[in-house]
Structure 1
Amino acid sequence: MKAARNHSAAPPYDYIVVGAGIVGLATARELLRRKSGCSLLLLEKEKQPAMHQTGRNSGVVHAGVYYAPGSLKARLCKAGAAATLKLCEEHGIAVDNCGKLIVATSELERGRLAELEQRCRANGLNVSRLDAQQLKVAEPRIDGIAGMLVPETSIVDYTQVALALAKDVERMGGSIRFGRTVLGIREAADRVTVETSDGDVEAARLVACAGLMADRIAAMSGLADDFQIVPFRGEYYRLREEKNDIVKHLIYPVPDPALPFLGVHLTRMIGGYVTVGPNAVFSLAREGYGKFAFRARDAAQTLAFPGFWRVARANLRSGIDEMRSSLSKQRYLALCRKYCPELSIDDLQPHKSGIRAQAVMRDGTLVHDFLIRSTTRTLHVCNAPSPAATSAMPIAAYIADAVTEARATRQFMHAAAET
Structure 2
Amino acid sequence: MKSGGEKGSRYKKVDYLIIGAGIMGLTIARELRRREPSASICVIEKETQIAMHASGRNSGVLHAGFYYSADSLKARFTRDGNRAMTRYCEENGLKINRCGKLIVAANEAELEGLEELKRRGDANGVELVWMDEEQVRSVDPNVSTFRKALYSPSTSSVDPVEVCQQLKWENSHNNVEFRFNTVYLKHQDNRATTNRGIIEYGYLVNAAGLYADKIAHRYGFGKKYTIIPFKGIYLKYAKNKTDVRTNVYPVPNLGNPFLGVHFTKTVDDSVKIGPTAIPALWRENYAGLQRFKLGEFVQIVYYEAKLLWKNAFHFRSLAFAELRKISKKNFIGLSLRMVKELDAGGFGSFLRPGIRAQLLNKETLELVQDFVLEGDSRSMHVLNAVSPAFTCSLPFAEYVADEIARQQAPAAVRPDRSNVKIYKRSVGT
Matched with 2:257 is: 260
Structure 1, residues 116-140: CA drift from partner, whole Å, max 9, x if none? 1122122222221112232233221
- Give the secondary structure class of the aligned counterpart of 1:165: helix
Q: Write the mapping of 1:19-418 to structure 2, written as runs, cut at 5 A.
A: 19-69=20-70, 71-145=72-146, 146-187=148-189, 192-240=190-238, 242-290=239-287, 294-305=292-303, 309-310=306-307, 313-314=311-312, 315-326=315-326, 328-350=327-349, 351-363=351-363, 364-406=365-407, 414-417=421-424
Structure 1 distance, partners of 2:176, 2:262, is 39
- Give the secondary structure class of the aligned counterpart of 2:389: coil
TM-score w.r.t. structure 2 length?
Answer: 0.88
Structure 1 distance, partners of 2:119, 2:168, is 38
Do 1:281 and 1:323's aligned partners in 2 also have CA atoms closer than 8 Å? yes
Q: What is the one-letter code of the residue matched to 1:55?
A: G
How far residue 173 of structure 1 moved from its aligned partner, in angstroms, is: 1.5
Structure 1 distance, partners of 2:416, 2:22, is 24
Q: What is the one-letter code of the residue matched to 1:101?
A: L
My pick for the range that moved more, 308-317 or 135-144, is 308-317
Q: Residue 142 and residue 292 in structure 1: after superposition, are their counterparts in 2 closer, same or farther (change >3 A)?
A: farther
How far residue 281 of structure 1 moved from its aligned partner, in angstroms, is: 0.7
How far residue 287 of structure 1 moved from its aligned partner, in angstroms, is: 1.7
How far residue 247 of structure 1 moved from its aligned partner, in angstroms, is: 1.8
Q: Which consecutive unaligned segments of at least 5 residues does structure 2 have?
A: 1-6
Structure 1, residues 302-327: CA drift from partner, whole Å, max 9, x if none? 1234x76236622111211111122x
Q: Residue 354 and residue 135 in structure 1: after superposition, are their counterparts in 2 closer, same or farther (change >3 A)?
A: same
Structure 1 distance, partners of 2:397, 2:13, is 23
How far residue 333 of structure 1 moved from its aligned partner, in angstroms, is: 1.5
The runs of 4+ residues in structure 1 deviating greater than 3 Å are 291-295, 407-414
Q: Residue 262 and residue 142 in structure 1: after superposition, are their counterparts in 2 closer, same or farther (change >3 A)?
A: same
Structure 1 distance, partners of 2:158, 2:424, is 29
- Give the secondary structure class of the aligned counterpart of 1:368: coil
Structure 2 distance, partners of 1:235, 1:205, is 36
How far residue 157 of structure 1 moved from its aligned partner, in angstroms, is: 0.8
Structure 1 distance, partners of 2:202, 2:169, is 24
Do 2:281 and 2:297's aligned partners in 1 also have CA atoms closer than 8 Å? yes
Q: Residue 358 and residue 70 in structure 1: after superposition, are their counterparts in 2 closer, same or farther (change >3 A)?
A: closer
Structure 2 distance, partners of 1:219, 1:279, is 29
Do 1:374 and 1:409's aligned partners in 2 also have CA atoms closer than 8 Å? no
Q: Residue 409 and residue 370 in structure 1: after superposition, are their counterparts in 2 closer, same or farther (change >3 A)?
A: farther
Structure 2 distance, partners of 1:298, 1:265, is 31
Q: Residue 134 and residue 281 in structure 1: after superposition, are their counterparts in 2 closer, same or farther (change >3 A)?
A: same
Q: What is the one-letter code of the residue matched to 1:334?
A: G
Q: What is the one-letter code of the residue matched to 1:401?
A: D
Q: Which consecutive unaligned segments of at least 5 residues does structure 1 have?
A: 1-8
- Give the secondary structure class of the aligned counterpart of 2:367: coil
Do 2:45 and 2:181's aligned partners in 1 also have CA atoms closer than 8 Å? yes
Do 2:79 and 2:126's aligned partners in 1 also have CA atoms closer than 8 Å? no
My pick for the range that moved more, 137-146 or 246-255, is 137-146
How far residue 39 of structure 1 moved from its aligned partner, in angstroms, is: 0.5
Q: Residue 292 and residue 319 in structure 1: after superposition, are their counterparts in 2 closer, same or farther (change >3 A)?
A: farther
Structure 1 distance, partners of 2:316, 2:415, is 35
Structure 1 distance, partners of 2:361, 2:323, is 23
Q: Residue 319 and residue 304 in structure 1: after superposition, are their counterparts in 2 closer, same or farther (change >3 A)?
A: closer
Give the superposed CA RMSD: 2.3
Q: What is the one-letter code of the residue matched to 2:360?
A: V
- Give the secondary structure class of the aligned counterpart of 1:12: strand
Q: What is the one-letter code of the residue matched to 1:358?
A: Q
Do 2:74 and 2:371's aligned partners in 1 also have CA atoms closer than 8 Å? no
My pick for the range that moved more, 331-340 or 370-379, is 370-379
Structure 1 distance, partners of 2:119, 2:217, is 41
Do 1:232 and 1:280's aligned partners in 2 also have CA atoms closer than 8 Å? yes
TM-score w.r.t. structure 1 length?
Answer: 0.90
Do 1:61 and 1:155's aligned partners in 2 also have CA atoms closer than 8 Å? yes
- Give the secondary structure class of the aligned counterpart of 2:82: helix
Q: Percent of aligned positions with the same letter in both sequences?
A: 36
Structure 1 distance, partners of 2:145, 2:108, is 10
- Give the secondary structure class of the aligned counterpart of 1:147: strand
How many residue pairs get matched?
403
Matched with 1:3 is: none
Structure 2 distance, partners of 1:199, 1:292, is 30
Structure 2 distance, partners of 1:388, 1:95, is 18
Structure 1, residues 80-135: CA drift from partner, whole Å, max 9, x if none? 11211121122211011111111111111112112211221222222211122322
- Give the secondary structure class of the aligned counterpart of 2:397: helix
